Structure 1
Amino acid sequence: MELIGRGRDADVFALDGSRVLRRYRDGGPVREEARLMAYLAARGCPVPRVHDVTDTDIVMDRLTGPTMAQDLGRRPWLAHAHGRTLGRLQSALHRVPAPGWLPRRFPTGREGADRVLHLDLHPENVVLTPGGPVLIDWRTAAAGDPAADAALTVAILRGVVLGRMQRAGVRVLLRGFLNDCAVDPAPRLAEAVAARFTNPNLLPQEAERLRRFSRRVPGGN
Structure 2
Amino acid sequence: MELIGQGRDADVYALDETRVLRRYRSGGRPTEREARLMTHLAASGFPVPEVHGATSTDLVLERVAGPTMLEVLARRPLQFHTLGRMLGALHDRLHAHPAPTWLPQRFGGTGDDRVLHLDLHPGNVILTGRGPVVIDWSNAAAGDPAADLAMTLVTVGGAEVPGLAARLGRGLLLHAVRRGSATDPGPRLAAAVEVKLTDPNLRPAEEAWLRRRAGRLRPSV
TM-score range, shorter chain: over 0.9
Distance 1:218 1:97 in 2: 31
Distance 1:41 1:77 in 2: 31
Partner of 1:77: 78
**1:164/1:44 Cα in 2 relative to 1: closer, same or farther (>3 Å)?**
same
Task: Give the SS at the match of 2:184.
Answer: coil
Distance 1:6 1:62 in 2: 15
RMSD: 1.1
Partner of 1:108: 109
Distance 2:219 2:60 in 1: 42
Partner of 1:14: 14
Distance 1:78 1:88 in 2: 15
Partner of 2:51: 50
After superposition, give the CA deviation of every residue in 1:122-159 in whole Å (9 maximum; x if it has no partner): 00000011110000000000000000111111111110
Partner of 2:152: 153
Structure 1 residue 80, shift from structure 2 partner: 1.3
Amino acid at match of 1:19: R
Task: Give the SS at the match of 2:60.
Answer: strand
Structure 1 residue 94, shift from structure 2 partner: 0.2
CA contact (8 A) 1:161 1:209 kept: no
Distance 1:144 1:108 in 2: 7
Aligned pairs for 1:1-221 (under 5 A) are 1-27=1-27, 28-110=29-111, 113-162=112-161, 163-219=163-219
Task: Give the SS at the match of 2:217.
Answer: coil
Amino acid at match of 1:176: A
After superposition, give the CA deviation of every residue in 1:14-52 in whole Å (9 maximum; x if it has no partner): 000010000001111011100000011011100000001
| Long gaps (5+) in structure 1 | none
Structure 1 residue 215, shift from structure 2 partner: 2.4
Distance 1:219 1:32 in 2: 37
Distance 2:48 2:60 in 1: 13
The count of corresponding residues between Structure 1 and Structure 2 is 218
Distance 1:96 1:199 in 2: 27
- Structure 1 runs (4+) deviating above 6 angstroms are none
CA contact (8 A) 1:18 1:62 kept: yes
Distance 2:43 2:23 in 1: 24
Amino acid at match of 2:130: G
Structure 1 residue 216, shift from structure 2 partner: 2.3
Distance 1:65 1:216 in 2: 38
Distance 2:66 2:84 in 1: 18
Amino acid at match of 2:149: A
TM-score (norm 1): 0.96
Structure 1 residue 218, shift from structure 2 partner: 4.5
CA contact (8 A) 1:190 1:219 kept: no
